[in-house]
Amino acid sequence: MAHHVDLSAYNKLTERLNRFPQGAPPSKYLERILKILLSDEEARKVSLLPIKPFTPRQAATIWGLSETEAFKLLNELASRAILVDIHSDNEVRYVLPPPMAGFFEFSLMRIRDDLDQKLLAELFYQYLNVEEEFIKALFTEGETQLGRVFVQEAALKNSAALHVLDYERATEVIDTSEQIGISLCYCRHKMKHVGKNCDAPMDICMTFNSSAGSLIRHGHARPVDKVEGRELLAKAWEHNLIQFGENVRQRVNFICNCCGCCCEAMLAAKRFASLHPVHTTNFLPVVAHHNCTGCGKCVDACPVEAMSLVSANDPHKPKRKQAKLDRELCLGCGVCVRSCPEQVIELTSRPERVITPLNSAHRTVVMAIERGMLQELIFDNRLLFSHRALAILLGAIFKLPPVKQLLASKQVKSRYLEALIAKR
């Protein structure tokens, strides 16, 4: 006889997190993290929430509470950055963000006395940096990833600048955002608690639009104007930090200013390089080898070890070295351009452009298709466009032979789905 297993609230929450393309594999460390962030009853209630943004009335129905009681609990969770509250048209809606980029990071994006942040950082380190299941799942499953690298605009010379598009510029994200919030860098803050942080600036993590609004509203970020936003980009450039942001063209919600030693995305780019965990820019550096002195400063600056020193094969100077680029590892950030004292490195366009999803809905569905999780989005009613259109699309793809499923998936990602979302 089968026995009914009553899962704990934290196991139920873990199951809920893993119905989304950006999940959180079960682990003893994950359970301990969730126990620090939420009470047993909070975890049980959060496990019942949909992924699509919802109203207090909807939450009240799901939880069996009055709307007033539901609103109080939702606001409490938003005040601790477990939920993001979105205010628009005299209505407030809430959404449970994924663990990353989401409530994991939010918990360390300011100094707090309501949490044991040292213990939390140590657990994050074990879960994300020692164990590899979470980071591998987050950054390497499927072709479409959570984040992309923005090109360092100061590294672009006139010829290359002609080929950079607006959505590839971090300055464009700043200039077009409704709100900008600045917080502590989660990655360096975490590493500080385990004694492994570098000396790069901490107060430089950027959120935008609705995410910034929620974090600012509850004290997890400080508001800045566009001028200070650009100044912080210049500060990041001076410290050889890389802009790693949300992998969308419209309404980017975050840009992290990353170092190669502390930041999860850069560590994943080195750890799983062959699986292409981070979307690159549309540029590659080219070294003018005849003028390269082999000083190695570009090697030191590169966050993903794509630059190395090799023999220059100079018969007159047998010990002479020169820089060599590994194109498969290179993110195209342009940090090496700044580091070169001889100015012999220049960015040029990649042979093929990198595809960037239109917006977060587009990216979420593409990631779900690639990971075989589209049905979770459909039956949970988590996206903003027609259930019927998605159901027809899913049914048609599932009836195709495997090879044609792959071709259909590529077509959906590049054309049909984008058109659907743009017209919703």
Residue 354: inside a domain? no
**Predicted TM-score of the model (pTM):** 0.85
Mean pLDDT of the chain: 87
**Omega into 200 within 30° of 0, i.e. cis?**
no
Cα separation, 163 vs 169, in Å, equals: 11
* Backbone Cα Rg of the chain: 23
Measured CA to CA, the distance from residue 363 to residue 368 in angstroms comes to 8
Q: Is the same domain home to 218 and 326?
A: no
Q: For residues 271 and 287, state if they share a domain.
A: no
Lowest pLDDT segment from 38-42, 106-110, 141-145, 293-297? 141-145
Torsion (CA) 166, 171, 173, 177 in degrees, nearest 10: -130
For every residue of 277-303, DSSP letters joined together read: -SB--SEEEEE-GGG-----HHHHH-T
> Which among 62, 48, 60 is positioned nearest to 17, based on CA atoms?
48
Amino acid occupying residue 182: I
In this structure, the answer to whether residues 28 and 124 fall within a common structural domain is yes
Domain boundary residue, one of 275, 294, 310: 275
Structural domain contains residue 216: yes
Task: Please report the beta strands in 343-385, taking only residues with DSSP state E, as ranges in sequence order.
Answer: 345-349
Domain of 309, in residue numbers: 283-349
Which residues face 307 on adjacent strands? Answer: 325
Instruction: Output the pLDDT for position 51.
Output: 79
Provide the pLDDT for residue 395.
Answer: 52
Return the half-sphere exposure (C-beta side, CA atoms, 13 A cut-off) of residue 360. 19
Neighbours of 153 (CB within 10 A): 17
Which of 1-5, 30-34, 296-300, 346-350 bottoms out in mean pLDDT, i.e. has the lowest? Answer: 1-5
**pLDDT band at residue 311, thresholds of 50, 70 and 90?**
very high
Do 270 and 297 lie in a common domain? no
Q: Are β-strands 180-184 and 147-150 bridged in parallel, bridged antiparallel, or unpaired?
A: unpaired
Q: What is the maximum span of the chain, computed from C-alpha positions, in angstroms?
A: 83
**Residue finishing a domain among 275, 301, 317:** 275
Give the burial string for 399-416 (b: 16+ CB within 10 Å, else e): eeeeeeeeebbeebbeee
Same domain, 165 and 48: no
Kindly state whether residues 191 and 166 are assigned to the same domain: yes
4 falls within a domain: no
Q: Which of 195, 193, 199, 185 is nearest to 123 (CA)?
A: 193
Q: Are residues 126 and 148 in the same domain?
A: no
Structural domain count, the chain: 4
Cα distances from 195 to residues 189, 258, 305, 332, 389, in angstroms, run 10, 18, 23, 30, 51
Same domain, 20 and 93: yes
- 237 forms beta bridges with none
Share of the chain above pLDDT 70, in %: 85
Convert the pLDDT of each residue in 195-215 to its tens digit.
999 999 999 999 999 999 999
Residues, the chain: 424
